[in-house]
């Protein structure tokens, strides 16, 4: 039976965990499709495209399209902390509050980390491939067996005078190049992929380049007095989970105007908080543990909705 102090400890832990969990903003929500899973893994039979409309001459013409298969296997994730007997006995609730608040924030942030790993490793990294068997960011994307056979690029080397870091004008040119590229992609039938030209693209980058790119959203002029070609045309999210670069500049740009998303977050069991109050650990050591648990995983969606840009 829980004492009144134990009940207060448990309530404090629970409230602090969920307050931090719910209050932690997701930095990848705008580029992920949330899918509910009811199996160990989910297979995504990817119909490459819908054929284009054609004039009806006589009867209908039934056309088949290539099918691809992409599987995301759910994984169990946990994070467990122990609260010492002394903390419990002397009702150091502020310590429990801080600890469980941090636990909640980390439980909420971990899906962002998984998606960020997909982003970071999307260019020619073993084990990180899209539905077409290629890296998610690639210089020659193709859909095997599709009617449209021309390769497409969603990995751009954008020039820098130094060959390393962009000036503000070069960075603006890189953002413009990414936006233009996102507007050119075609599906497997050769039809354009929808991108609303009135909506902003989303730029995601490591914080070490954020200070260079973020001002370009609102600066009317760049160094030398030239007008800013990307004024008001993009939103930007700094992502500390991405690997920092110091010798080159790079960022990722995403088309977020359509229903499709470049990444998938698949959830079989949402995050929960559990404790072992009254259990064996409580009996043996008088310490108690609190732990988060979730059953989910991340995967790739449609490469046509993202592009990686790096200095050359």
Give me the pLDDT at residue 67, please: 67
Question: Is the model's pLDDT at 147 over the cut of 90?
Answer: no
The token pair that represents 301 in the structure block: 């969606």
Determine the pLDDT at residue 50. 64
Coil, strand or helix: which one is 114? helix
Count of domains forming the chain: 1
Residue with tokens 């470049």: 262
Q: Considering only 22-26, 122-126, 162-166, 303-307, which range has the smallest mean pLDDT?
A: 122-126
- Domain annotation covers residue 136: yes
Quick one: pLDDT at residue 63?
Answer: 65
Q: Is the pLDDT of residue 68 over 60?
A: yes
Distances (CA, A) of 154 to 16, 162, 188, 253: 42, 23, 15, 10
Residues recorded for the chain: 312
d(C-alpha 112, C-alpha 101), whole Å: 18
Confidence (pLDDT) at 260: 85
For residues 184-210, average pLDDT: 93
* Residue 111 contacts residue 298 (beta carbons within 8 Å): yes
Q: Looking at residues 237-256, what average pLDDT do you find?
A: 96
- The CATH number of the domain holding residue 106 is 3.90.1690
| Residue 307, in any domain of the structure | yes
What pLDDT, on a 0 to 100 scale, did the predictor assign at position 49? 61
Domain assignment present for residue 23? The answer is: yes
Place of tokens 């980058």: 205
| In the predicted structure, residue 161 carries a pLDDT above the cut 60 | yes
Beta bridge partners of 265: 34, 298
Averaged pLDDT for residues 3-27: 91
Task: Pick the closest to residue 88 from 15, 1, 6 (CA basis).
Answer: 6
Q: Containing domain of residue 300, as a range?
A: 1-49+78-312
Assess if residue 12 is contained within a domain.
yes
pLDDT in tens, 92-118: 889 999 999 999 999 999 999 999 999
- Please, what is the average pLDDT of the chain? 91
The tens digit of pLDDT for each residue in 38-65 reads 999 988 766 456 666 777 877 787 766 6
Nearest Cα to Cα of residue 272 among 256, 255, 305, 295: 295
Find the mean pLDDT for residues 148-163. Answer: 94
The pLDDT tens digits for 253-301 are 999 998 789 999 999 999 999 999 877 767 667 889 999 999 999 999 9
Percent of the chain with pLDDT over 70: 93
SS (H, E, C) 192-238: ECCCCCCCCEEEEECHHHHHHHHHHHCCCECHHHCECCCCCCEEEEE
71 belongs to a structural domain: no
Distance separating alpha carbons of residues 23 and 270, to the nearest angstrom: 16
**7 inside domain:** yes
Looking at the domain assignment, is residue 261 inside a domain?
yes
């Amino acid at each position: 039976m829980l004492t009144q102090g134990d009940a207060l400890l448990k309530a404090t832990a629970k409230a602090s965990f969920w307050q931090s969990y719910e209050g932690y903003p997701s930095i990848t929500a705008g580029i992920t499709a949330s899918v509910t899973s009811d199996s160990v893994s989910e297979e995504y039979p990817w119909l490459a495209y819908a054929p284009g409309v054609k004039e009806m001459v006589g009867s209908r013409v039934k056309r088949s399209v290539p099918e691809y298969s992409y599987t995301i296997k759910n994984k169990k994730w946990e994070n467990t902390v122990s609260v010492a007997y002394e903390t419990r006995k002397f009702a150091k609730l502020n310590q429990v509050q801080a600890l469980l608040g941090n636990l909640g924030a980390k439980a909420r942030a971990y899906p962002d980390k998984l998606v960020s790993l997909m982003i970071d490793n999307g260019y020619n990294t073993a084990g990180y491939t899209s539905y077409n068997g290629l890296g998610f960011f690639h210089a020659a994307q193709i859909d095997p067996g599709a009617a449209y056979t021309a390769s497409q690029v969603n990995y751009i080397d954008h020039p820098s005078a130094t060959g390393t870091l962009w000036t503000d004008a070069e960075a603006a040119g890189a953002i413009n190049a990414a936006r233009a590229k996102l507007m050119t992609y075609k599906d497997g039938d050769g039809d354009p992929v929808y991108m609303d030209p009135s909506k902003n693209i989303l730029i995601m980058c490591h914080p070490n380049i954020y200070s260079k790119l973020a001002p370009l959203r609102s600066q009317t002029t760049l160094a030398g007095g030239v007008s800013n070609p990307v004024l008001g045309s993009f939103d930007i999210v700094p992502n500390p989970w991405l690997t920092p670069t110091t010798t080159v500049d790079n960022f990722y740009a995403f088309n977020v105007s359509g229903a499709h998303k470049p990444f998938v977050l698949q959830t079989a069991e949402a995050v929960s908080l559990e404790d072992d109050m009254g259990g064996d650990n409580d009996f043996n050591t008088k310490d108690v543990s609190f732990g988060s648990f979730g059953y989910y995983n991340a995967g790739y969606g449609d490469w046509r909705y993202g592009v990686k840009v790096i200095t050359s």
